[in-house]
Amino acid sequence: MKEAPADNIFGKILRRELPSWEIHSDELSYAFLDIFPQSEGHTLVIPRSYSENILECSTEELAACMATVRRLMPAVRRAMGAGGITVLTNTGIEAGQSVPYLHFHIIPRHGSDKVSLYTPGAMLQEEDARRIQQAIRAELH
């Protein structure tokens, strides 16, 4: 397992130095709600072993991370009643990567939504987070 730099936000979340709304946890990956969601249920999946971005990640670690993404997608979609899901990873500052720790966005999509890659959503509120967390977890079998 590679450790993230001490000041890395997602490293801190993994070490529980910062709080997060956990959606899923296993030996190789961790999933939690995005704090500035593009839409309700916006979830992030990260590998436990640190890589700055997808290009730095080994195929094996990536496969484990993607397995979690694949597992969560239908749960998130059902829980949020979304028609579609966007999965993406920004690679590099120029692509909009603001946290230098590999993460996959799982973003529920609705026909009329205004999801934007470039505009942060409003901050996630506790009562919404709890409800969304429960709804997604209920869909994970």
Catalog residues that contact ligand AMP under the rule CB under 6 A.
Answer: 9, 18, 20, 34-36, 44, 90, 96-99, 120
CB of 18 to ligand AMP, least distance (A): 6
* Nearest to ligand AMP of 63, 117 (CB atom): 117
CA angle 42, 29, 84 (to 5 degrees): 30
Largest CA distance in the chain: 41
The stretches of the chain forming alpha helices (DSSP H) are 9-14, 59-80, 126-138
Closest distance to ligand AMP from the beta carbon of 31 (Å): 11
Helix H or strand E encompassing 115: none
Encoding tokens for residue 16?
């529980």
The sign of the CA dihedral 121, 41, 69, 100 is positive
Least separation in angstroms between residue 20's CB and ligand AMP is 5
Query: Count of alpha carbons within 13 Å of 66, Cβ hemisphere only?
Result: 10
Q: Cα separation of 132 and 21, whole Å?
A: 9
CB closer to ligand AMP out of 116 and 141: 116
Note if 42 is an active site residue.
Answer: no
CB of 42 to ligand AMP, least distance (A): 7
- Nearer to ligand AMP among residue 34 and residue 61 (C-beta): 34
Catalytic residue among 42, 103, 105, 110: 103
Gyration radius (Cα) of the chain, Å: 14
The set of catalytic residues is 103
